[in-house]
A and B are shown apart, each in its own frame.
Chain A
Amino acid sequence: MNYILETNNLSKNYRRSKVLNDLNMHIEKNAIYGLIGKNGAGKTTLIRLICGLQKPTSGTYSICGISNKSKDINKARKRIGAIIESPSLCLNMSAEDNLKKQYKITGIPNYEGIYDILNIVKLDNTKNKKVKHFSLGMKQRLGLAIALVGSPDFIILDEPINGLDPEGIIEIRELILKLNKEKGITFLISSHYLDELSKIATCYGFLNNGKIVKEISQKELEQNFKKKIQIKIDNVKECVRYLEESSIPYKIISDDIIDIYEKINVSELITALSKRNCTVNKFQEKEETLENYYLNLIGGAEND
């Protein structure tokens, strides 16, 4: 398999705490990889290692097939762009000057393409407005524009929609999808906004306690999503007794709500329950969300 990023038993210790623990991760070309994990799971540390800001305690990673142990790793880094926590911007410069500076940093001899990039991120009309007067969404888009300088193959975004308003979130989402489709750029996105991530990601990595607990593609995830039936009843004890006797998997949600994880004959269930003096007040078919999947997965991992 041709991976743009691959990690092998990557570990990072800070004094006595182990932030990353033999982490293995694989990102295919042209993917939008959603990195999911709670605060302190090690998402930002992993990104810092990949970007060369910190060195791993043990293990290796490779970018575009070039190992971090290789002397050419800095050449491989020229093929990536990143926004870590906040975009790298000179606040007292205009958007155009920020891009010009980035052109110089990357060694591009002329300013060709600057207006195309500004156009892609919809900042072509900001003229001489200084970045310090930009909204958070504009700064984030400019950060993406800077990451785009040098036509990278791989862009890493750490919490790209943090603090953005709904409009800003939509803009960033559409921009990522556009860049992925039109320019074939691979993305690694870490985010807490699972609902938002589920709208763009093509695969996911679930990070817990410094390890990737599961890597799964969007298609596989959809197949794995359990469909459930949620019922509201007036006699939970009787309902539970019936479900146990019938070996139907279930979960008690509250005093009067139970989730059933199996395809059942609804009229049979209602009839059976009414015979036990249990009335079904509400009946709803639900599909599991990425959020539920994550919680079940992480819960399971923690119990292990």
Chain B
Amino acid sequence: MIKLLRAGFFRLRKEIIFWLFIISSVVVAIFSLNHWQSSNETYVLDKIINNFTLYIGFFIALFVSIYVGKEYSEGIIRNKIIVGHSRASIYISKLIISIVVSLLCELIYVIIVLIVGKILDIKTHVTLQKMAMCIIDSILMIALYCSIFNFISMIFSDITLSTIINVIILVVSFIITFYLFNISNNPKYFESTITDADGNTTVISQNPNPFYPGDEKVGFAKTVECLIPFSQAQIIINVEEESLYKILIFSVIEICIINMGGIYIISKKQLK
């Protein structure tokens, strides 16, 4: 495994897609800072930091599809098997490299945001504990993305096909996320409130929302949100405390299932 990782990281230095991924994280950091600066909000550092989780899926999809796809098309995977490496170790090494690269890009983004945020005096209301939870969830979300895209790329072994499938997965997860949040963000009641001169708000009436889908449906939507990495990103940005813990558990389970399935399928696959 260590041999494969060494060879993989050695190859990375020459990979254009790797450098494009790094550059993209810098560009997105600058773009995010610029966007939030124009909004004139002070307490948004957490939002800016977590903002990359929304975009990173796209970059991971492209990176993993191209990186793994090229290994197939150039016969590198075949070569690794011929010299006696197991398929499972090849699969896991690809996954580890994808996760490390993605985390590196996330780290570059966060460092840029923190440094510039400090200079621009951008603050946050979010507690350190919640922020730590968001970071752990972000790491798991990245690992989940890598697991999904690595699974697809290793199974389909065709650079074009796996890129298309991975991008489709992203688009579909975006649509599902949009649909789920439409359900879960539906308020049960419409409240009429009065705010006095001191800024205190009092609820004066509560009317049921006729379009409220029901507690069961909302609960189901909230659970599914925690399963889909794109929805997870939205939850992390919104720092939804209750769902942050669910993401942690669900992601670990999903990562295990996907990778065990992937290793099983790849060990049975007829390679050319």
Spell out A's residues near B (CB within 8 Å): 48, 51-55, 74-78, 80-82, 84-93, 97, 100-102, 104-107, 146, 150
B contact residues vs A (CB 8 Å cutoff):
3-4, 6-7, 10-11, 14-16, 74-76, 78-86, 270-272
- Please classify the interface of chain B as helix (H, G, I), strand (E, B), loop, or mixed, using the class held by over half of its residues: helix
If A74-B86, A146-B79 touch, does A92 touch B6 (CB 8 Å cutoff)?
Answer: no
- Neighbour of B85 across the interface among A74, A82, A91, A100, CB < 8 A: A74
Q: Is the CB of B10 within 8 A of A88?
A: no
Report if A77-B10 is in contact (Cβ < 8 Å); known contacts: A53-B270, A53-B272, A89-B74.
no
Q: Give Cα distance in the complex from A48 to B76, angstroms.
A: 15
Contact A53/B81 with A104-B3, A104-B6 known, Cβ cut-off 8 Å = yes
Decide yes or no: A77 and B84 within 8 Å by CB, A48-B272, A92-B15 being known contacts.
Answer: yes
With A51-B82, A86-B75 already in contact, the answer to whether A105 and B7 are too (CB < 8 A) is yes
- Complex Cα spacing A80 to B15, Å: 28
By the criterion CB–CB under 8 Å, are A88 and B76 in contact? yes
| B84 CB contacts on chain A under 8 angstroms | 52, 74-78
| B10-A101 in contact (CB<8A) | yes
Distance between Cα atoms of A80 and B83 in the complex (Å) = 7
A-B contacts, 26 of them at CB < 8 A, read A53-B81, A53-B270, A54-B270, A75-B84, A77-B84, A78-B83, A78-B84, A80-B82, A80-B83, A81-B83, A84-B78, A88-B76, A88-B79, A90-B11, A90-B14, A90-B74, A92-B16, A93-B11, A97-B14, A100-B10, A101-B10, A102-B79, A105-B80, A105-B85, A106-B83, A107-B3
For A54, the chain B residues whose CB sits under 8 A away are 270-271
**Which residue of chain B is the closest to A76 with respect to CB atoms?**
B84
CA separation between A55 and B78, bound complex, in Å?
14
Q: Which 3 pairs across A and B sit closest by C-beta, in order of nearness?
A: A88-B75, A88-B79, A77-B84
**Contact partners of B86 in chain A: CB under 8 A:** 74
Known: A82-B82, A89-B75. A53 touches B271 (CB 8 A): yes
Of the candidates A77, A84, A89, A97, the one whose C-beta lies within 8 Å of that of B83 is A77
B16, B78, B86: most-surrounded residue (chain A CB, <10 A): B78
Separation in Å of the B11 CB from the closest CB of chain A?
6
Q: How far is the CB of B107 from chain A (nearest CB, A)?
A: 25
A105 near B78: Cβ-Cβ < 8 Å: no
Q: Provide the residues of chain B in CB contact with A86, threshold 8 Å.
A: 75
A105 contacts B271, C-beta separation under 8 Å: no
Known: A53-B78, A90-B74, A150-B83. A105 touches B14 (CB 8 A): no
Q: Of all chain B residues, which has the CB nearest A77?
A: B84
Given contacts A53-B270, A104-B3, A105-B7, contact A90 B76 (CB under 8 A): yes
Question: Across the interface, do A52 and B82 meet the contact criterion of CB distance under 8 Å?
Answer: yes
**Can you name the residue of chain B whose Cβ is closest to the Cβ of A93?**
B14
Q: Which B residues are in CB contact (< 8 Å) with A102?
A: 7, 79
Is the pair A51, B81 in contact by a Cβ cutoff of 8 Å? yes
- Interchain CA distance A55-B87 in the complex, whole Å: 13
CB-CB nearest in chain A for B268? A55
Among the interface residues A80, A87, A92, which one has the most CB atoms of the partner chain B within 10 A? A92
* Chain B residues positioned under 8 Å from A85 (CB to CB): 272
**Complex alpha-carbon distance, A113 and B79, angstroms:** 20
- Within 8 Å CB of A78, what residues of B? 83-84
- Find out whether the CB atom of A101 lies under 8 angstroms from the CB atom of B271: no
5 additional contacts (CB under 8 A) given A52-B82, A97-B10: A48-B272, A54-B270, A55-B270, A77-B84, A90-B76
Interface centre among B7, B76, B83 (most CB of A within 10 A): B83
- Collect the chain A residues with CB atoms within 8 Å of residue B83's CB: 77-78, 80-81, 105-106, 150
Q: How far is the CA of A285 from the CA of B165 in the complex (A)?
A: 64
The CA of A84 and the CA of B7, in the complex, are separated in Å by: 21
Q: A102 to B78: give the CA distance in the assembly, Å.
A: 12
In the complex, chain B residues whose CB is within 8 Å of the CB of A146: 79
Complex CA distance for A242 and B81, rounded to whole angstroms: 62
Please report the C-alpha to C-alpha distance between residue A243 and residue B270 in the assembled complex, in whole angstroms: 55
